[in-house]
């Protein structure tokens, strides 16, 4: 996919809320895009969307999640303000002063997350970091009207249209991990042009931000031979620890305790064969923070790896990444699929 098509998809995909557990409005959009590159597209009862391509060789499962962070109404206060809880790991520091959309029973309502002006704050208040329990949404109606329109459990999204910065950098909400879906589409298009022997099942998974629940269910049903989770990682950012960030302009391949060495080594070898620069992302603990954590544990275990797109400002509404990195990841997934043959279990690993 060229930059124009990638931007078109990401603009559409990031415009829908698709909050964890409430992804249904996103499913049709993802399925429509998948159908451009696969004749075998379906959806399961949990909302995961699949596309199959390739031959009858070893079965490769490639997932990227399409749920994005959001909020949910925790309480409707007597004064008409809405108390909040998070859907996923939203950083509450970024929320004051934001415009939001409350998805209420009678339709969407515009609101704001207000903040006390500095003029009325004490010196002690100025030192306090606000938590989600300190924040409230104001939709401007009387308390009586608010209680008619909004109920506890209604979801809240934060609109942030995708924008093009300089070069091929884009910024917006939910690029974690709708950019991963863009990688899947790019790989599917490449495999449509040059089919592979391996059977490749691409999955846009649900509820990753609350425990990779969709991918776990999907992998159990697919029962793959091996798997790759496509997600985002931390790009070099001012003041961020250098050991936890990677260059902005190249794919990152995970190595760590839970990552299958055969998969990571083969991803690295394919990158070398393609003369593609890549980074190694270290996952030293028992979790990569991706779909891989649950996929690798289904049934009797699935050898799994992680391929990541470097991203700045993760879990905000101005996540930034390079479209060229998305295309490189798509090319690497397609190359990996082409390299997958019978006997892959004996792949060498240096």
Domain with residue 188: its CATH number is: 3.40.630.10
63 and 191 share one domain:
yes
My answer on whether 99 and 16 are in the same domain is: no
**Structural domain range at position 329:** 3-68+173-346
For Cα atoms 339, 341, 344, give the angle at the middle one, nearest 5 degrees.
95
Domain assignment present for 131: yes
CB 58 within 8 A of CB 66: no
Whole-Å CA distances, 62 to 48, 263, 271, 329, 334: 12, 12, 17, 12, 11
Same domain as 269, residue 203: yes
My answer on whether 192 and 286 are in the same domain is yes
Residue 128: DSSP 8-state? P
State whether 304 and 256 are in the same domain: yes
- Are 211 and 330 in the same domain? yes
Considering the domain boundaries, does residue 166 fall inside one?
no
Q: What is the pTM of this model?
A: 0.94
Contacts of residue 144, Cβ cutoff 8 Å, sequence gap at least 6: none
Residue 168 in any domain: the answer is no
Give the CA-trace dihedral at 116, 142, 69, 294, to 10 degrees: 120
Are 103 and 149 within one domain? Answer: yes
Structural domain contains residue 165: no
Q: Would you say 307 and 161 are in contact if contact means Cβ atoms under 8 Å apart?
A: no
Q: Specify the number of domains making up the chain.
A: 2
Same domain flag for 195 and 323: yes
Q: Is residue 207 domain-shared with residue 308, that is, in the same domain? A: yes
Question: Does some domain include residue 167?
Answer: no
Residue 85 within any structural domain of the chain:
yes
Tell me: do 88 and 58 sit in the same domain: no
The DSSP bridge partners found for residue 107 are 104
Nearest to 84, CA basis, from 159, 152, 18 = 152
- pLDDT digit string (tens) for the chain, length 350 residues: 899 999 999 999 999 999 999 988 788 999 999 999 999 999 999 999 999 999 999 999 999 999 999 999 999 999 999 999 999 888 888 898 899 999 998 899 999 998 777 777 677 766 677 788 889 999 999 999 999 999 999 999 999 999 999 999 999 999 999 999 999 999 999 999 999 999 999 999 999 999 999 999 999 999 999 999 999 999 999 888 888 899 999 999 999 999 999 999 999 999 999 999 999 999 888 899 999 999 999 999 999 999 999 999 999 999 999 999 999 999 999 999 999 999 888 888 87
User: What CATH number did the domain enclosing 123 receive?
Assistant: 2.40.30.40
Residue 58 and residue 125 in one domain: no
């Amino acid at each position: 996919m060229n930059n124009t098509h990638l931007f078109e998809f990401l603009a559409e995909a990031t415009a829908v809320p698709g909050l964890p557990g409430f992804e249904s409005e996103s499913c049709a959009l993802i399925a429509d895009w998948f159908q451009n590159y696969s004749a075998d597209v379906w959806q399961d009862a949990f909302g995961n969307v699949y596309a199959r391509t390739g031959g009858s060789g070893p079965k490769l499962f490639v997932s990227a999640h399409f749920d994005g962070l959001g909020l949910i109404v925790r309480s409707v206060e007597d004064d008409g303000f809405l108390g909040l809880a998070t859907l996923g790991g939203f950083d509450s520091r970024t929320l004051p002063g934001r415009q939001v959309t409350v998805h209420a029973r009678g339709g969407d309502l515009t609101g704001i997350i207000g903040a006390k002006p500095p003029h009325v704050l004490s010196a002690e208040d100025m030192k306090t970091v606000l938590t989600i329990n300190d924040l409230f949404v104001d939709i401007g109606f009387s308390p009586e009207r608010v209680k008619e329109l909004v109920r506890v459990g209604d979801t809240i999204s934060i609109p942030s249209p995708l924008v093009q910065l300089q070069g091929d950098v884009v910024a917006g909400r939910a690029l974690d991990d709708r950019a991963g879906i863009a990688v899947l589409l790019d790989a599917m298009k490449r495999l449509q042009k040059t089919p592979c022997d391996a059977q490749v099942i691409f999955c846009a998974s649900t509820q990753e931000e609350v425990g990779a629940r969709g991918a776990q269910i999907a992998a159990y049903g697919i029962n793959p031979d091996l798997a790759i989770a496509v997600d985002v990682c931390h790009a070099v950012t001012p003041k961020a620890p250098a050991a936890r960030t990677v260059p902005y302009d190249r794919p990152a391949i995970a190595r760590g305790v839970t990552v299958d060495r055969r998969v990571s080594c083969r991803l690295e070898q394919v990158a070398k064969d393609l003369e593609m620069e890549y980074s190694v992302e270290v996952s030293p603990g028992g979790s990569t923070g991706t779909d891989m954590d649950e996929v690798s544990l289904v049934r009797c275990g699935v050898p799994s790896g992680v391929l990541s797109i470097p991203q700045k400002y993760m879990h905000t509404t101005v996540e930034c990444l390079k479209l060229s990195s998305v295309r490189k990841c798509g090319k690497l997934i397609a190359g990996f699929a082409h390299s997958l043959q019978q006997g892959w279990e004996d792949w060498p690993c240096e």
